[in-house]
Amino acid sequence: MSTVVEQIPAPDEFVPSERTRLRRMRHKGSHRREDLDAVLAAGFLCHLGVVVDGTPMVVPTAYGTEGDRLYVHGSVASRSLVQAPGATVCVTVTHVDGLVLARSVFEHGVNYRSAMVYGVPREVTDPAEKLLGLRALTEQCAPGQWEYARQPSRKELAATSLLALDLTEASVKIASGPPDDGDGPDAELGLWAGVLPVVTVFGAPVPDPVLPADAQPPAHIAARAGRPAVGPTTE
């Protein structure tokens, strides 16, 4: 699936900024909110780009969404905000869907879905919002777990760093389909070409060794075995 970016943003699109303006392979790009929501909903791990002590860092961390807001678990980024309040960060979410193996190495590629979100994050300090953000993050990773597990105490909340980032400056790129050299001179080489899909699935739940031998995982965890770990959220 490829989405062509319109010249004039529609009501459900982001207005491109200098950071999110698509310069290469624009036919694979999108500023549509529904495309951003789909990429974010399909995963739970992002990479947070920040500058800490004058050095750029890209930190893998969990995330969750709630309405027009992205919540990110990030103590390193929180420290950078103290040093440089008002600094912009970049959050990237990428899902690899397959290797595109062409007849020539030059035409090889990757099928993927990727989103980039820019903004000035805000450290969440209000206890009620922090609970809301942590719930969104937990449910993004394991739907049903927030109500099943013990929720954070006041002391645990105070020790947890959570960032909020408005979803106002973002872009999406989606690459899919077979190699592009099927109608070129290399098609005469007689070589195999196609896509090697990449599928990540959850395995069977592994119990904590200290649990009783007859302890069973809750239904919301057991049901995820064998299902895609990163992909569409529809059942």
CATH of residue 76's domain is: 2.30.110.10
Which has the closest alpha carbon to 50: 75, 31, 70, 16? 75
189: containing domain: 26-197
- Whether the predicted pLDDT of 233 surpasses 50: no
Instruction: State pLDDT tens for residues 201-219.
Output: 999 999 999 999 999 999 9
- Say if 79 falls within a structural domain: yes
| In a domain? residue 20 | no
Whole-prediction pTM value? 0.85
Could you read off the pLDDT of 167-190 as tens digits, one per residue? 999 989 999 999 988 888 999 999
- CA-to-CA separations, 210 to 108, 203, 207, in angstroms, rounded: 48, 20, 8
Q: Tell me the residue length of the chain.
A: 235
Let me know if residue 16 belongs to a domain: no
Q: How many domains does the chain have?
A: 1
Higher pLDDT, 117 or 29: 117
What average pLDDT does this structure show over 48-56?
Answer: 86
Q: Does residue 222 form part of some domain?
A: no
Domain for residue 161, yes or no? yes
State the pLDDT confidence band at 5, using cuts at 50, 70 and 90: very low
Binned at pLDDT 50, 70 and 90, residue 55 comes out as confident
Please measure the distance between the N-terminal and C-terminal CA atoms of the chain and give it in whole angstroms: 20
Cβ-based neighbours of 233, under 8 Å, separated by 6 or more: 41, 42
Tell me how far apart the alpha carbons of residues 106 and 185 are, in angstroms, rounded to a whole number.
13
> H-type helices in 102-225, by residue range?
127-141, 145-148, 154-158, 219-222
